[in-house]
Amino acid sequence: MSQLIKTQKFNLHQLAIAIDQLFNIIVCIITFKKGWADETLSAAAYRESVSGRHFCEKFINTLFFWQEEHCKNAYLSELQRNHLPPEERNLERNDQ
């Protein structure tokens, strides 16, 4: 596969993630919940399921039936900062 095709495939995947994050915030606005701009709907659904609200996670996992534990893996991917450029994934955070 040529480098141009790989780059475009990567960019389209990034676009899909950005749309997912936008949709998550729209859902949060509609449902009056606190939402995070950099969180996907799948990761948010998994976070909600930990609190005992499983409907969204089960629904999304059903949509992605070919991926085992889609929402949990999306959440873990965000914890590992996989959505960031490689050089920014392991930076020390100075939140204090």
Six token digits for residue 92: 């020390």
Q: Is there a contact between 70 and 60 (Cβ–Cβ < 8 Å)?
A: yes
If you average pLDDT over residues 35-46, what whole number do you get? Answer: 92
Q: Is there a contact between 61 and 70 (Cβ–Cβ < 8 Å)?
A: yes
Q: Which residue has the tokens 């495939």?
A: 9
pTM for this model (two decimals): 0.78
Q: What gap in Å lies between CA 41 and CA 74, rounded to an integer?
A: 9
Q: What is the DSSP letter of 6?
A: H
- Predicted local confidence at residue 9, as pLDDT: 93
Q: What gap in Å lies between CA 64 and CA 81, rounded to an integer?
A: 21
N-terminal to C-terminal alpha carbon distance within the chain: 45
- Predicted local confidence at residue 19, as pLDDT: 94
**Residues 46-80 pLDDT 10s:** 999 988 888 899 999 999 999 999 999 999 998 88
